[in-house]
Amino acid sequence: MEVHFKFEDLNVYQKALNYIKFVYKITHNFPNNEVYALTSQFQRAAQSIALNIAEGSSGTKAQFIRFLKISQGSLYECVVCTTIAFNEKYIDTKTENESRIALMEMSKMLSGLIASFNLSVTKN
């Protein structure tokens, strides 16, 4: 029997997990002087997207919305980390685009999820 939590069914959560793998892969090649700076911040921000989806799912709809918005903030941090990494030439154009595409997709999914919860909260 598989132990399963409902939030694990959310596509945005699955995409967030995939994005964490992506970030770990690309930050592995960042310079050593970035270990406690950009590397750490990028990894923590990527993790925070998934972590806040999970944490928020255990509360009320209003609480879940709040945590989804925190996930969005972490996602935007990843946009800035991507830009810095590209500007510093730690990643190439292809990797920058991959990151931005994944982030845009998750951003749209989070916005849609928030909107759907906002509708159900106002109806109740």
- Give dist(CA 49, CA 72) in Å, integer: 7
pLDDT single digits (tens) 55-77 = 999 999 999 999 999 999 999 99
pLDDT, residue 1, reads 67
Check whether 123 has a pLDDT greater than 70.
no
Round the average pLDDT of the chain to a whole number and report it.
94
Residue 117: C-alpha distances to residues 43, 56, 85 (Å): 28, 12, 34
Please write down the HEC assignment for all residues of the chain. Answer: CCCCCHHHHCHHHHHHHHHHHHHHHHHCCCCHHHHHHHHHHHHHHHHHHHHHHHHHCCCCHHHHHHHHHHHHHHHHHHHHHHHHHHHCCCCCHHHHHHHHHHHHHHHHHHHHHHHHHHHHHHHC
Sorted by where each starts, the structural domains of the chain and their CATH numbers stand as: 8-123 (1.20.1440.60)
pLDDT single digits (tens) 84-122 = 999 999 999 999 999 999 999 999 999 999 999 887 655
pLDDT, residue 5, reads 93
- Give dist(CA 83, CA 100) in Å, integer: 9
Statement: the pTM of the whole predicted model exceeds 0.75: yes
Dihedrals phi, psi of 95, to nearest 5 degrees: -70, -40
Check whether 9 has a pLDDT greater than 70.
yes
pLDDT, residue 119, reads 75
pLDDT, residue 23, reads 98
Residue 28 CB neighbour total at 10 angstroms: 8
- Mean per-residue pLDDT, 39-63: 96
